């Protein structure tokens, strides 16, 4: 049993100079065989393992991570959480995740610093206003909070935004999801890992999958850099490397991997208390608790596995930033990085079965996976445990690319996150 994190444990450990903290998770040697193997120790993989143990009683589970826990996109994103999606299928899935986020700190006994500070999508043209209004109404019809703001309301909430009629990108209004916000991405991974470990899940880091053992179309286990590991069922949750894993298992996916860049500024005093996205001029910004501005934009156009993008993307994003917020023009940027995201043609994820029996996949989250972390793990755990997709995951099956039932979220998802 893990010792519960609380003010009392903090005080007790302070008395022993913080030398006696219990380890958050073990680092066991891999067993020869498991009931379920999860490939990928990012947020989605850890959430899958956690919910397998918590909700389905499957605890003979290992999470295989080729690097270190949460060291991929989980630690590289801009931490935005929202559920303001246009189509019913996406709205229900992302709302499921947002609701789990709302109780996650209590559930995990780990402060994931989920801050529902509101999330705004700016409109710069009359067409923007119409499309956004349509989306807001669709979201409201699904019972999810969303509202339109006038230019004056936007200016009141974000005084530093250039809302003047002479602005390079005039602001006509915005949509607002008050329950949207940000969470501490590392804490999500660490909290999930700690609780999954408590329930018996083996988290095995520095263990790269190099091949699948497939007999007559049924997966029996994997080859790894730490030896062969057998499993009754296997889930692939590897984001940018989904295509590589699928290749090892002998099938192809409708995904392409691209770099997605983000950057943070030097820390400044509190100046922005909400998340502001501009899908049209393409920059999104929030301020972290440390005071840094966290900035993101779109993917680099080319296929890449390099975890680094090209400067023109950054330049466009910073041009947009300084046009919208003139007061940021003299800010210095501290760090810039790239992650590899697996993008789908319809900007929606793939959750479900693969052509190989007992091999499941959860991928294609593209540029917006962080917000879905608990929801994705929750429905994927159900899908693996039952062998049938969770009702929320049914529309996101790989077959949709054959049936043509695409969930085209480019309007809500493909442009900005």
Partner 1 sequence: MFVINCPYCGPRDEHEFGYGHEAHIARPTLEQQGTMSDAEWANYLFLRTNTKGVHFERWVHTKGCRRWFNVARHTVTHEILKVYKMGEPKPDISAENLPR
The residue among 8 and 302 lying less far from partner 1, judged by its C-beta, is 302
The residue among 270 and 404 lying less far from partner 1, judged by its C-beta, is 404
Q: Which of 83, 84, 177, 257 binds partner 1 (CB under 8 A)?
A: 257
Applying CB under 8 A, does 348 fall inside the site for partner 1?
A: no
Q: Are β-strands 61-64 and 33-39 bridged in parallel, bridged antiparallel, or unpaired?
A: parallel
Smallest distance, Å, CB 283 to partner 1?
18
Write out the DSSP string of 100-143.
Answer: HHHTHHHHHTS----B---EEEEE-SHHHHHHHHHHHHHHHHTT
The residue among 241 and 282 lying less far from partner 1, judged by its C-beta, is 241
The 10 Å Cβ neighbour count of residue 37 is 29
Which residue shows structure tokens 């922005």? 272
The residue among 60 and 307 lying less far from partner 1, judged by its C-beta, is 307
Applying CB under 8 A, does 169 fall inside the site for partner 1?
A: no
Q: Which of 252, 269, 290, 332 binds partner 1 (CB under 8 A)?
A: 252
Q: Which of 130, 303, 334, 405 binds partner 1 (CB under 8 A)?
A: 303
- Token pair, residue 297, equals 């934009």
Smallest distance, Å, CB 65 to partner 1?
18
Smallest distance, Å, CB 272 to partner 1?
29
The residue among 169 and 251 lying less far from partner 1, judged by its C-beta, is 251
Q: What is the dihedral of CA 177, 48, 217, 348, to 10 degrees?
A: 10
Applying CB under 8 A, does 401 fall inside the site for partner 1?
A: yes
Q: Which of 103, 200, 211, 247 binds partner 1 (CB under 8 A)?
A: 247
Which residues are registered as beta bridge partners of 335? 264
Which one, of 263, 271, 279, 289, lies nearest residue 325 by Cα? 271
Q: Tell me the Ramachandran region of residue 404: left when phi exceeds 0, alpha when psi lies from -120 to 50, beta otherwise.
A: left
The residue among 41 and 240 lying less far from partner 1, judged by its C-beta, is 240
Applying CB under 8 A, does 145 fall inside the site for partner 1?
A: no
How many residues of this chain interact with partner 1, rule: CB under 8 A? 25
- What is the sign of the dihedral through the CA atoms of 213, 29, 59 and 48? negative
Residue 29: burial class (beta carbons within 10 Å; 0-12, 13-18, 19+): exposed
Stretch of residues binding partner 1 (CB under 8 A), selected from 28-36, 74-82, 267-275, 398-406: 398-406
For 233, the enclosing helix (H) or strand (E) is strand 227-236
261 vs 77: CA distance, rounded Å: 9
257 vs 342: CA distance, rounded Å: 4
Applying CB under 8 A, does 225 fall inside the site for partner 1?
A: no
Applying CB under 8 A, does 243 fall inside the site for partner 1?
A: yes
Rg of the Cα trace of the chain? 21
Q: Which of 256, 323, 357, 408 binds partner 1 (CB under 8 A)?
A: 256
- Token pair, residue 138, equals 């669709």
Applying CB under 8 A, does 375 fall inside the site for partner 1?
A: no
Q: Which of 255, 324, 361, 392 binds partner 1 (CB under 8 A)?
A: 255
Applying CB under 8 A, does 345 fall inside the site for partner 1?
A: yes
123 vs 104: CA distance, rounded Å: 32
Q: Which of 180, 254, 298, 377 binds partner 1 (CB under 8 A)?
A: 254
Smallest distance, Å, CB 39 to partner 1?
15
List contacts with partner 1 (CB under 8 A).
241, 243-244, 247, 252-257, 301-306, 310-312, 342, 345, 401-404
């Amino acid at each position: 049993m893990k010792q519960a994190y609380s003010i009392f444990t903090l005080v007790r450990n302070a008395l022993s100079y913080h030398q006696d903290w219990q380890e958050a998770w073990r680092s066991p040697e891999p067993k020869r065989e498991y009931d379920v193997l999860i490939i990928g120790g990012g947020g989605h993989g850890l959430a899958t393992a956690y919910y397998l143990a918590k909700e389905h009683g499957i605890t003979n589970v290992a999470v295989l991570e080729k690097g270190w826990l949460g060291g991929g996109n989980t630690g590289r994103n801009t931490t935005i959480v929202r559920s303001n999606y246009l189509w019913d299928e996406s709205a229900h899935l992302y709302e499921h995740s947002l609701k789990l986020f709302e109780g996650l700190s209590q559930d995990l006994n780990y402060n994931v610093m989920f801050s529902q500070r509101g999330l705004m999508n700016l409109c710069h043209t009359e067409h923007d206003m119409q499309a956004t209004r349509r989306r807001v109404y669709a979201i409201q019809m699904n019972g999810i909070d969303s509202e339109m703001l006038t230019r004056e309301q936007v200016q009141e909430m974000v005084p530093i935004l250039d809302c003047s009629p002479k602005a390079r990108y005039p602001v006509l209004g915005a949509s607002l999801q008050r329950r949207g916000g940000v969470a501490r991405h590392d804490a999500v991974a660490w909290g999930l890992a700690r609780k999954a470990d408590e329930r018996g899940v083996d988290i095995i880091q520095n263990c790269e999958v190099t091949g699948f053992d497939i007999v007559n179309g049924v997966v029996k286990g994997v080859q790894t850099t730490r030896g062969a590991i057998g499993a009754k069922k296997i889930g692939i949750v590897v984001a940018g490397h989904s295509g590589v894993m699928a290749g090892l298992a002998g099938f192809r996916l409708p995904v392409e991997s691209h770099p997605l860049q983000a950057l943070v500024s030097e820390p400044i005093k509190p100046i922005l208390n909400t998340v502001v996205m501009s899908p049209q001029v393409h920059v999104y910004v929030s301020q972290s608790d440390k005071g840094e501005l966290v900035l993101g934009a779109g993917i680099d156009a080319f296929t890449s596995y390099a975890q680094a993008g090209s400067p023109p993307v950054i330049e466009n994003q910073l041009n947009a930033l300084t046009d919208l917020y003139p007061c940021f023009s003299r800010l210095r940027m501290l760090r810039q990085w790239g992650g590899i995201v697996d993008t789908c043609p319809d900007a929606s994820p793939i959750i479900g079965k693969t052509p190989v029996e007992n091999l499941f996949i959860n991928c294609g989250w593209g540029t917006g996976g962080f917000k879905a972390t608990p929801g994705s793990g929750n429905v994927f755990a159900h899908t693996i445990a039952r062998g049938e997709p969770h009702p929320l995951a049914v529309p996101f099956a790989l077959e949709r690319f054959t049936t043509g039932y695409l969930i085209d979220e480019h309007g809500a998802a493909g442009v900005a996150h």
